Amino acid sequence: MEEFIKPQNLSLSPQQLSVLMPYLVVMTGGLITLLLGVFRKAVNMTVPVAAFSVLTMVLAAYSLFLVWGEPTVSLFNDMMVVDNFSNLFNLIFIVATGLVIVGSNQYLVREGIEHFEYYSLMLFSCLGMMFMASAKDLIVLFIALEIMSIAVYVLVGFKRADTRSNEAALKYFILGGLASAILLYGVALLYGATGSMNIQALAAAVQAGAASNLLFVLGAALVTGGLLFKVATVPFHMWMPDVYQGAPTTVTAFMTTGLKAAAFAAFVRFFMNLGYGADLSSTLYSGLYKVLWVSAIATMLIGNIIALTQKNIKRMLAYSSIAHTGYLIVAILCGGRSEYGYSSVLVYMAGYVVMNIGAFAVVAMLSEKNDRHTNIEDYAGLGFKKPLTGLAMTIFMFSMAGVPPTVGFAGKYLIFLSAVQAGEVLLAVLSVLCSAISAYYYLRVIVFMYMKDPVPGRAMNHTLAPAFVIGISAVITMQLGLFPSVLIEAAKKAAMMF
Amino acid sequence: MELISSSIVSLTVFLPLIFGLVLLAMPADTEAGKKLLKTAALAFSLVVFLVSLGLYGRFDASYVGFQFVESIPWIESFGISYSVGVDGISLWLIILTTFLTPIVILGSWTAVEDKLKTYYFLILALETGMLGAFVALDVILFYVFWEAMLIPMYLLIGVWGGKDRIYASMKFFLYTLVGSLLMLIAIFYVMSQYKAQFGNYSSAILELYKVKTAFDGFWSPQTLLFLAFALAFAIKVPLFPLHTWLPDAHVQAPTAGSVILAGVLLKLGGYGFIRFAFPMFPQAVQYTAPVFIALGSIAIVYGAWVAMIQPDIKKLVAYSSVSHMGYVMIGLFSLNHLAVAGSVYQMLNHGISTGGLFLIVGMIYERRHTREISEFGGITRIMPIFAVIFMIVTLSSVALPGTNGFVGEFLILLGVYQVHKVWAIVAGTGVIFGAVYMLWMFQRVMFGPIRNEENKNLKDLSLREIIVMAPIVVAIFVMGVFPNIFISKMDTSIKAFLAQINV
């Protein structure tokens, strides 16, 4: 009988330990924030905990920097892997979480929810995301997904006294649980069909002809469905606008960026390892191809069209987030057959995270208690009343619309180029037309900011920390838009791993 | 000095933006501050004009190809570089841009009073965008300037425009965006083809010219790619029937916006055809030329007819743009040496004379706050200087011999007649209709008895306004009487351009 537990796989070599450092830092940080919170009877611990969380993120970024560019390291009996791909995604998660945490405190105080658990949950969720990007085994993937999601279920309902927040949390919890169950069922079927949950072993099984096995196909379909649910493609998008609108704005920023990026990280790793893309001849791949093709078009079209009619900016950004998911699905669809592979997913995701956090930071900063003043018309006159904030929001909006020279254009550039290279000209044309639709609702924000007169008495207060986040995001959006080479090279290295 | 002379193109392009940022840093709360801001904006734009004259001075008219070329790698993995340069065609469009900018700044001296800083910043940023698009020798760099330029124009119309400014600015932005996004896909297709044929990426236009795309009638890649480019540029020109954004944008835009829009932005459409669409897809151009010549001729006549019945002077001028740009299109698509030279010339003419007309409309609007033709009549007696200048610009617009308009239209019609007789005749009737609507408008506004009491106390042009109009009047006559100054500099480039297409 084969020996399952190998002692040599239970101890960590120094190299393995060093690549695990970012994960350990975030985990330890999360645990310490919990311990620090114990002292809340004596002093208000929110600000110290927030500061400590930021410190954790800085340390995590530093430890990531130390292992940046190291060769691939396999961990825990090949259940997990740290490579350029996971490193780049980890950087995205750390930057996203860090920026959201910096911008959160003022919002929490205003809403009267300044509890230290907020920060612990953010850190744990971030840890889950990091594991998701490096999971090589479907069961690790599932556990990582749950670590990430459970923390966020709580965060969504963090405004305990607010019915919308409660509704959002419940909705998200039930539907998220359903998605997890679907995913897990798919994993079980795949295990039944192949006897393994390791992605590489699955790929080998596909090579050996497992794709003709009905059990395998069903399992693959359920896993894909679960992932599509997590990234909220049409028709699995129904939960998203309500959740995004009901959740505290800072949590929404976290969800649209970190969570989405993590789901895509898992998605891409799954697809890349299965060797999808290069060859569409088998039933499995051509089936997947059709599903993704239809889902990409539907997601872009429905996301953009419904966003046109939104009056609330959080809801508008939620639908726009659905539309952006559509572009990312296009990237996944075409990645395997284009020269730079899946690097377009990474570039787009990185850009989207930065501009989206910036936009939500503006929304969070300018809203008032109980999320008042989050309608687009509440931005009337912002551009001339607060020129810098107006400028930053303008940058974010143009970037989301994909207008050069912003990072949004760099991302769209790669996606559309890869679509053309993959021979998907029709898909590329439909995507750009959808992106032209999207320009309308992004421009509407600018219309209100610059072309309407301000409402008298509207304060538009500014506070330091969110303004800092907005500034940083705006600078990165422009910087990566004007000089995208750094990002493109990093993404290329990350995506060429497979 | 070494640095300046080696990067004179970049200097011309980015100076306005840098100056614009300086303006943003200036205080403009007091009256004195505002005055200083305006003066600084004017001085800055004049400096840019002088720098661009440096380009003219060093330009070698006999050299085939691009001059003052600068090339720095930008995004190396895709072969994208910051490469800029000038040839005989872009040289004049650059000078047109830098020539009109100080004029519109001086022209909006009293018309714009609020949010001055942003206003002048946007005008200068727009100048950078337009100049960048004219000098870009890399198709992605061109695209970046082409799109980025939309933003300041959009804000100029949307913030300082008239009553329906938001609708007009939105329409302007979305129309242009849809066209350019399809062009972007076509650019990607060509880049991928280049990669397939030559093994590496490049987006330098001189490299992309080498790409051979399959041509076989309408449903072949080359024709479809050409149409994707043509859509973007035809919207910008604007070619009938894609012109509907233009009257809205023109009428709602502030005077400076209209002048730049008509004077320079529309030229980018024609320039795009010359620089990108034609040389990259020569067979498709020849295949589709009859359609475009037909559309251009229809635009000439239709624009003139619609202009004739407009009750609003500004709208009349806007439709006259549609008509005048139709000449540019038929000239280009006739692929005849004379006509192409005429088209380039007509682009400059249109910038000068329509720009001048919009300034005149702006001056009269500042006095009466209306542009309805029926509100006026007999203005000649009250504003004699104004009448003389208005007459000169009107005659230039109807292409009277001795003015610039004549040279362009004559060359175009002569050239087109050699290739497409019927359409040349149709377009020729446009000259007559052009005279009808312009002179009829002039007669109703300027001659006859003074019907409206309010017009009796109108002031004639101030010294500032005369200074605004003087360069335009001078340009009209210089271009009308000595066309060779201009054509001699551009002719080598035009021959090279035609040689690329008739392979």
The DSSP secondary-structure symbol of A137 reads: B
User: Helices (DSSP H) in B254-312: which residue ranges?
Assistant: 255-260, 266-272, 278-280, 282-308
Q: Find, in chain A, the residue whose alpha carbon is nearest to that of B191.
A: A417
* pLDDT of the residue at A1: 45
A interface test, pick of B185, B219, B223 with most A CB neighbours within 10 Å: B185
* pLDDT of the residue at B7: 83
Record: contact A417-B188, CB cut-off 8 A: yes
For residue A417, give how far its alpha carbon lies from the nearest alpha carbon of chain B (Å): 5
Chain B residues whose beta carbon lies within 8 Å of the beta carbon of residue A386: none
Chain A residues whose beta carbon lies within 8 Å of the beta carbon of residue B159: 450-451
* Cα-only R_g, chain B: 22
ipTM: 0.86
- Residue A61 is inside which H or E element, if any? helix A46-67
For residue B79, give how far its alpha carbon lies from the nearest alpha carbon of chain A (Å): 11
Question: Of A120, A115, A123, A129, which is closest to residue A158 (Cα–Cα)?
Answer: A115
Record: contact A451-B189, CB cut-off 8 A: no
Q: Find, in chain B, the residue whose alpha carbon is nearest to that of A388.
A: B24
For B377, the 3-state DSSP assignment is coil
Checking if the pLDDT of B295 tops 80, the result is yes
Please tell me the distance from the alpha carbon of residue B39 to that of residue A285, in angstroms, as a whole number: 66
A interface test, pick of B26, B153, B160, B188 with most A CB neighbours within 10 Å: B188
> Which range is least confidently modeled, A387-396, B94-103, B458-467?
B458-467
Q: Find, in chain B, the residue whose alpha carbon is nearest to that of A453.
A: B159
Strand partners, A312: A375
For residue B355, give how far its alpha carbon lies from the nearest alpha carbon of chain A (Å): 25
Candidates A404, A440, A451; nearest CB to B165: A451
Question: Of B232, B269, B169, B288, which is closest to residue A432 (Cα–Cα)?
Answer: B232
**Who contacts B303 (Cβ-Cβ below 8 Å, separation ≥6)?**
B240, B243, B319, B320, B321, B322, B323, B324, B326, B430
User: Helices (DSSP H) in B26-112: which residue ranges?
Assistant: 31-58, 88-107
Chain A residues whose beta carbon lies within 8 Å of the beta carbon of residue B76: 485
Asked if residues B155 and B197 have their Cβ atoms less than 8 Å apart, the reply is no
Total H helices, total E strands in chain B: 23, 2
User: Helices (DSSP H) in B115-164: which residue ranges?
Assistant: 116-135, 139-148, 150-160
Asked if residues A362 and A389 have their Cβ atoms less than 8 Å apart, the reply is yes
A interface test, pick of B23, B78, B189 with most A CB neighbours within 10 Å: B78
User: Tens of pLDDT along B400-451?
Assistant: 888 888 888 888 988 888 888 888 888 888 888 888 888 888 888 888 888 7
For residue A181, give both structure tokens.
């169950």
Checking if the pLDDT of B35 tops 70, the result is yes
Chain B residues whose beta carbon lies within 8 Å of the beta carbon of residue A417: 78, 188, 191-192
Q: Which position has the token pair 């419940």?
A: A170
A interface test, pick of B117, B184, B187, B227 with most A CB neighbours within 10 Å: B184
pLDDT tens for each residue of chain A, 498 residues long = 455 666 666 677 888 888 889 999 999 999 999 888 888 777 777 788 888 999 999 999 999 998 888 888 888 888 888 888 899 999 999 999 999 999 888 888 888 888 888 899 999 999 999 999 999 888 999 999 999 999 999 999 988 888 888 999 999 999 989 989 999 999 999 888 888 888 888 888 877 776 677 888 888 888 888 888 888 888 888 888 889 888 999 999 999 898 999 999 988 888 777 766 555 556 677 777 888 888 899 999 998 998 888 888 888 998 999 999 999 999 888 877 777 778 888 999 999 999 999 999 998 888 888 777 888 888 888 888 888 888 999 999 999 988 888 898 889 888 988 888 888 888 888 998 888 888 889 988 888 888 888 877 777 777 888 889 999 999 999 999 888 888 888 888 888 755
CB burial of residue A221 (10 Å; 0-12, 13-18, 19+) = middle
User: Residue A200 corresponds to which amino acid?
Assistant: Q
Contact B72/A at CB under 8 A: no
User: Residue A249 corresponds to which amino acid?
Assistant: T
Q: At what angle do helices A407-421 and A485-495 cross, to 10 degrees?
A: 40
For A419, the 3-state DSSP assignment is helix
Chain B residues whose beta carbon lies within 8 Å of the beta carbon of residue A484: 75
Checking if the pLDDT of B501 tops 90, the result is no
Asked if residues A340 and A413 have their Cβ atoms less than 8 Å apart, the reply is no
